[in-house]
Amino acid sequence: MTLTYLLFAEDPGAALFMRELPAALRDAGAIPVTLALPFAAPYFPTEKLIAAPDALDDAAAEALLARFNPAAVIFGTSENPDSFAFNLVAASRRNGVPTIAAVDSAPNAEHRFRGHGTDPLRYAPDTLLVADSASADAYRALGIESDQIAICGHPRFDEIAAIRERWSEDQRAQQRRRHFPGVPDDEKIVVFVSELSVGLGDNPFRRDDDYSLAGTSGSDARSRIVGEELLLALSHLPYPVHRVLRLHPKQDDAEEADFSALFDQVSQSEPGLELVNAADLVVGMTSILLIEAACLGRPVLSIVPRSEERQWLGDARKAIPSVSTRDAIDAFLTGGDERQGWPVAATPAGLGNATANMVGRILSDCQR
């Protein structure tokens, strides 16, 4: 009997984590059916996505289950307390359909399945597919049993390991000329990877009393505070630096216009992996693109306004240098050499075969 699986994604991070799943399930003899909302859809370029219901509500969830009769519903988590994933979980429970969540990173575990309620496991699935041990630990602490959690690795890191082997120094030079035209060869390029400054619950992406960084404009937005601190530290260097702002896919460039004006260049649509590979230093907070840069072997720095946020890097925190004070930012940047640049961090360790690990657990659960 050929089984059908209904996949749902709405955020870029989850879509990146899940994007190889439809093809892998198909290769395993299953029928994947994928619903991806606008920010997630570009991550499934070869899939024939089903049309989103006009209203993302309980009735729509029930209709999808009736239409496809899936062996399981597989969904990516998001920053949305009104996520359609919760309607799908509720409908699946009513109809006895197993649910599986793909969790790409550790932050905000206590809010991922809460919705607008107070129970952090209100919409928790039957099985969690997580990227690393940090994520697994976070959900075990909330009360999810270890046998419900599969640590699979992250498919993107497997892909980057292969890309790193292929890309030569000549290709890196070509990427530099393509994405940073006109920047002299001897001028350092620093890319700041921005993030959204909105979040779940009490919004950990806004300034609170525990912040050890203040920024320079009075903004309370986490990403802007860190970006301003980076720019301040770069201004202390005795040599010129080309400063690049890489916006998050969901950031509105018009809303970020005044912040963008502080940089020499702004990027959002260009291939992120090429951009960070061509840079001399990639600075961010805890985003996936920062970890990808480390996997490529580029010099990286995580700046977080509260030291405990380095845990949000997941297992990559063991490899990526992280600082949370103005003096520490200065110390790291001045430790670089005008000619040699900044030191390369250790490459984050990966499990390998992440998508195969996910598919194996999915098929095992449904057969059981």
The token duo for 96 is 């006895």
In order of start, what are the domains of the chain with their CATH numbers? 4-154+352-367 (3.40.50.2000), 156-334 (3.40.50)
Q: Above pLDDT 70, what percent of the chain?
A: 96
User: What's the pLDDT tens digit per position in 96-149?
Assistant: 999 999 999 888 889 899 999 999 999 999 999 999 998 999 999 999 999 999
Start-to-end CA distance of the chain, whole Å, equals 15
Indicate if the pLDDT at residue 350 is higher than 70.
Answer: no
Residue 351, pLDDT score: 64
Question: What's the rounded Cα separation, in Å, for the pair 336 and 338?
Answer: 7
Residue 203, pLDDT score: 58
Cβ neighbours, 10 Å, residue 123: 23
Angle between helices 222-234 and 326-334 (to 10 degrees): 50
| Residue 237 Cα distances to 192, 230, 279, 332, 337, angstroms | 16, 11, 17, 11, 10
Residue 75, pLDDT score: 98
Residue with tokens 């999915």: 362
Indicate if the pLDDT at residue 89 is higher than 90.
Answer: yes
Q: Quick one: average pLDDT of 284-309?
A: 93
Indicate if the pLDDT at residue 74 is higher than 60.
Answer: yes
In the chain, which residue ranges form alpha helices assigned H by DSSP? 12-18, 21-27, 58-68, 84-95, 133-142, 155-166, 169-179, 222-234, 257-260, 272-278, 288-295, 326-334, 354-367
Residues 6+ apart with CB under 8 A from 69: 4
User: What's the pLDDT tens digit per position in 299-333?
Assistant: 999 999 999 999 889 888 889 999 999 999 999 99
Question: What's the rounded Cα separation, in Å, for the pair 175 and 184?
Answer: 14
Residue 336, pLDDT score: 75
The token duo for 78 is 């998001």
Question: What's the rounded Cα separation, in Å, for the pair 135 and 151?
Answer: 8
Q: Above pLDDT 90, what percent of the chain?
A: 75
Indicate if the pLDDT at residue 245 is higher than 90.
Answer: yes
Question: What's the rounded Cα separation, in Å, for the pair 238 and 251?
Answer: 32
At residue 249 the predicted structure's pLDDT band, cuts being 50, 70 and 90, is confident
For the whole model, what pTM was predicted? 0.79
User: What's the pLDDT tens digit per position in 165-203?
Assistant: 999 999 999 999 999 999 999 899 999 999 987 654 445
CA nearest to 81, candidates 103, 49, 113: 113
